[in-house]
A and B are shown apart, each in its own frame.
Chain A
C-alpha cells in the first residue's frame, strides 16, 4: 500500500486493493523487462529517436502569411495591423460582424478597446450571462502557423475557459512574436505553463459526423476572427 494512496483520504479499502491489484498485474506482465530502475528508465527515454522536424526554417514573413492562410482555410477572417492600430482594427472587425458589444477578460489592456462600442469585464459572471453576450475579445499565449492553431492558457489576457467557449463569436488578438512555425515549437513555448489549463483552437468548432460533410460551428464559437499584430 503506497503512502500516496493513503494520502488521498477518499480512497476506500476496496480502491486501495484495486490499485495494488492493477499495479501488481502490470508488474507481473512486464517480467520480461529487466532494466526497470529509474536510471534505466530515464536512459531508455533519452534514447527515443526524435528525428522529426522540431524547428522550422521559414522566414518570419512566410510564417505569418502561413498562419493567415491556415486560419482563412478555417473560415476565420484575419486582420493584419500595426501595434498602434489594434483598437481601430477591433472596431473594423466588430463592424464587419455587426457586433456592438463584447465581453473581455478583466485584465485585457484598455488600449485595445475602441470607443463607441460596449465592452464588459466577465469576472464572476454566471454562464447564463456569458451565453447572452454577443461575443468575446481576448489575447492568446502562442500560435502555430503550420496548423493554424491559437493557444489559450486562460490567464490575464485570455480569461477563464468558459469565456472563450460559451459565446458564439471569438475575436482574438495575436502578436507576431507569439507565432511559431511548428507544433514542437508551440510546445516549447508552453514548457513553463504545462499545469495551467490550456486550450488549442484551430478554427471554429466543426463536425463531419453527418455524411462526412464539414459543418462549421457546433458548440464552441461558430465565428472566429484574428487580429494579427505586426
Chain B
C-alpha cells in the first residue's frame, strides 16, 4: 500500500520551486490580480454576516465531533447510501481507488468519462490511471479543462487555472479545439467551452465526481459548483462514481445549513454559489441508475492519528487561506509541488505522506496568522505548522540549529495555544539574534532571507498589548 499525493513525493523543495517561479512575472501578476479580486469579494460578503464567527465555531465543532467519531459516521453513511441504492467501495490508497473506478467503467464497456472538478481524483492521479488503460477522461470545469488541455498543473484549490490569463487560454482553446476564430472576451471563451462540452454531457454515459459533503444520516452526497457542469455530470449519465475522502462525512442533513453558508462566501465571495446538487443513492426515473461511492483513505487515517494536527481534516477546500497568504500570493500554487497549495497544502501534503516527503512545506509560511483568520472552519494552521516543524526537527530531518527553538515552541504551544502566545514566544525566540532592534542573521532556512536584508525584530510590546494597556491607563 502506498499513499500518493499527486506527484508531491518527487517534487522539488519549496525553496527551489519558488525561486524559479519568482522569476515568472506573468504568472505572479496573474496570481496577484486573481487573489486580490477574490479577497475583496470575500471580505465584502463575509462582512454582511453578523453571525460569521458563530458559524465558524459551529462548523469547527461539527468537524471536530465528526472526526472523533469517524468510524461510526462512515458506517452510518455506508448503510444509508446502500439502502438508497448506492454501492459503497473502500480504498486504502490511490491505486485501490483507481482500480475500483476502472473496474466499474470497464463493466460498462465504456472508454470515455466526464468529470466534475474533484481535488481528490487529482490527488490520486486518476486521469493518468484511466488514460493508461485506454479510458479518456474529460474534465468539465472550465478551469480544469484549461489545465487538462494545456497539460498543465492546477495552481489553486478553487480556481485551478488562476495562473493563466485570458489570451493564453484563448490561444490554448483555439489550438486544442481546432477553432479558426475565437473572440477575446471571457464570454467568448466560456461559450467555446460550452459548445465543446455540451456534446459530451449529452452523450458520455459515465461520470466521475468528488463530494463536498457526505451526509451520514441520509447517505446523501452534496456537490457545490457554479457552472452547471456538476449538475450535468451528476444528473445526466447512466452511471455515476463519486470519489469521497473519508473526512468529507458530516453527521446530519441539517449540518449543511452551516457549511453551505461558509463555503461559497469563503471560496468565491458569493452569498451562494449558483448550484448545489444533493442526491441520495439512486432515484428511479431521474438521474444515474447506477451509483458508486469510493471512500478513500490515502493517508487520511495517519493525519487523524495526531490529535494536534487532526483538525487539518476539517478543511472544506474553500481556498481562502491561499488567497490570504502573503507567501502564496508571491509564489503561486506550483511552488508547493502538490495539488494542495498554500497554507492548507503546507500542512496537508506532508501529513498525508506520513511526513516522509514535502518536508520543506511547513516552512513555507511566515506564521502571520492570516490563514487562520479567514479559515471558515477555524483550522489553526499556524499552530499546526509549528507542530509539524517540531516533528520534522524531532525526526532529525529538519534544518539544523532549529531544534532548540522548536522545543521551546512545543512547550509554549502546549501551555497556551493562542496566536498572541506564539507572538510572545517569537519575542523570546529572537533574543539571541536581535541587535539594536534589528535581526541581521537568522538560523537555518531563514538565513537566506536575512542574508540580503535585516528584518525588524518583534517589538517588546505587541499592538494588542499596547492597546490594552492604553485602555487601562486612559479609560474613555
The residues of A with any CB-CB pair to B shorter than 8 Å are 2, 4, 7-8, 10-11, 14-15, 18-19, 21-23, 25-30, 32-33, 36, 38, 41, 44-45, 48-53, 70, 74, 127-128, 131, 144, 146-149, 154, 160-162, 165-166, 183-184, 186-188, 190-191, 194-213, 215, 217-221
Contacts and interface: CB of A to CB of B under 8 A. Distances in A.
Given A52-B51, A52-B54, A220-B275, 12 more contacts: A22-B297, A27-B71, A30-B71, A41-B69, A154-B286, A165-B232, A191-B254, A194-B280, A215-B186, A218-B142, A218-B194, A219-B231
A195 B305 CA distance: 33
Nearest to A3: B79
Given A50-B58, A207-B226, A219 B232 contact: yes
A186 B69 CA distance: 28
Interface string B223-253: 0001111011001100000000010000111
B302 interface: yes
A213 B169 CA distance: 14
Select the residue from A146, A212, A217 with max chain B CB neighbours within 10 A: A212
Contacts of B82: 4, 7-8
B165 interface: yes
Interface string B25-61: 0000010011001100000000000110011011001
Interface residues of B, number: 101
Interface string B250-262: 0111101110110
A127 B286 CA distance: 12
B58 A203 contact: no
Contacts of A220: 227-228, 231-232, 274-275
Across the A-B interface, give the 9 residue pairs with the lowest CB-CB distance, nearest first.
Answer: A220-B228, A219-B228, A29-B305, A147-B272, A205-B228, A161-B235, A25-B301, A218-B227, A202-B272
17 contacts: A4-B79, A22-B246, A22-B301, A27-B71, A131-B198, A148-B271, A154-B283, A165-B232, A183-B272, A184-B254, A195-B218, A197-B279, A199-B231, A210-B190, A211-B30, A219-B140, A220-B228
B186 A49 contact: no
A51 B54 contact: yes
B373 interface: no
Contacts of B38: 212
A207 B142 contact: yes
Interface in B151-197: 159, 161-162, 165-166, 169, 186-187, 189-190, 193-194, 197
Contact of A219 (B218, B229, B276): B229
Contacts of A208: 159, 226, 268
A160 B166 CA distance: 36
Select the residue from A23, A38, A53 with max chain B CB neighbours within 10 A: A23
Contacts of A41: 69, 72
Contacts of A217: 190, 194
Interface string B57-79: 11001100100111110110011
B159 A28 contact: no
Interface of B: 30, 33-34, 37-38, 50-51, 54-55, 57-58, 61-62, 65, 68-72, 74-75, 78-79, 82, 84, 87-92, 96, 100, 140-143, 146, 159, 161-162, 165-166, 169, 186-187, 189-190, 193-194, 197-198, 201-202, 215, 217-220, 226-229, 231-232, 235-236, 246, 251-254, 256-258, 260-261, 268, 270-281, 283, 285-287, 295, 297, 301-302, 304-305, 307
Contact of A128 (B57, B72, B202, B268): B202
B400 to A, nearest CB: 31
B26 to A, nearest CB: 12
A84 B78 CA distance: 48
B286 A51 contact: no
B391 to A, nearest CB: 16
A183 B257 contact: yes
A200 B281 CA distance: 18
B260 A218 contact: no
A26 B201 contact: no
Contacts of B169: 210
